[in-house]
Amino acid sequence: MPLVPVPKSTFVQKLKRFFMVDLLKGMAVTLGFNIGALTDKDSVAGKGIYTEQYPKVRPDVAPRFHGAPRLNMDPETHDTLCIACNLCALACPEDCIDVIPMDVEVIVAGKPRRKKVLDEFIFDTSRCMFCALCQEACPTYCLELTQDFELATYSRAGFVWNREMLEQGRETVKYES
């Protein structure tokens, strides 16, 4: 076992050691922190409280946060923006998106045409790793990862979100603060 010899201490070092200078230095720093925390303006009400009161006060996450998925709708007509192009499902590394299209008959310029529209959208949030590759693939800015981060459910089936859940979002309990 190679051992490194601990250098012999000089007289000044011995004196410092006798008066416990290193200990006092360390304690001065920690005491400074304690006093600083009591007068810190960043803490809650300047009282040295740093704990976030989570269920009552929800934190503000960044605008780019990758949270719960959502299918955006046209704000005026409330039709879905999804064109059932399947690009998000192809981009997903975990294969957790299923886009189920259906054909409807529309009359364009007096002639009946078949058009592919979205029927059902399945998003398995239990397998999602929130990499946002689906959001980047979406050509119509329909699929979006939002700032909601409360995804816990009571069952595995609850993690699989259908189109209704993706469009309306989940209801979260609001507590009075």
Partner 1 sequence: MKDVRTMHQVEIATTKNALLDAPEMTLNMGPQHPSTHGVLRVVLKLDGETVIDLDCDVGYLHRGMEKIAENRTYTMIAPYWDRLDYIAAVSNGLVWVETVEQMIGLDVPRRAHYIRTILTELNRIASHLLWLGTHALDIGAVTILLWAFREREEILKIFERQFGARLTCHAWRIGGMPNDAYDDFASDVKRFVDNFPKRLDEYETVLSENRIWLSRTVGIGVISGEEAIAIGLSGPSLRGSGVAWDIRKARPYAAYADMDFDVPLGENGDTYDRYLVRMEEMRQSRRIVKQAIDNLPDGPVNAKVPKLIKPPVGDYYHSIEGPKGEIGCYLVSDGTQQPWRVRVRPPSFINLQALKQMSIGHLVADVVAIIGTLDIVLGEIDR
x/- track of binding to partner 1 for residues 72-111 (CB under 8 A): -------------------xxx------------------
Cβ atoms of 128 and 94 within 8 Å: the answer is yes
CA 177, CA 175: separation in Å to the nearest integer? 6
Tell me, by CB under 8 A, how many residues bind partner 1.
Answer: 30
Q: Is position 37 an interface residue for partner 1 (rule: CB under 8 A)?
A: no
x/- track of binding to partner 1 for residues 129-168 (CB under 8 A): xxxxx--x--------x-----------------------
CA 41, CA 47: separation in Å to the nearest integer? 8
Residue of 5, 75, 110, 112 that binds partner 1 (CB under 8 A): 5
Cβ atoms of 67 and 148 within 8 Å: the answer is yes
What's the min distance (Å) between Cβ of 152 and partner 1?
Answer: 18
For strand 111-124 and strand 160-161, is the pairing parallel, antiparallel, or unpaired? antiparallel
- In this structure, the chain runs to a length of 177
Residue of 8, 41, 64, 114 that binds partner 1 (CB under 8 A): 64
Binders of partner 1 among residues 6 to 35 (CB under 8 A) are: 6, 17, 22-23, 25-26, 29-30, 33
CA 115, CA 105: separation in Å to the nearest integer? 6
Output the CA angle 46-49-52, nearest 5 degrees.
115
Q: Which spans of this chain sit near partner 1 (rule: CB under 8 A)?
A: 1-6, 17, 22-23, 25-26, 29-30, 33, 61-66, 91-93, 129-133, 136, 145
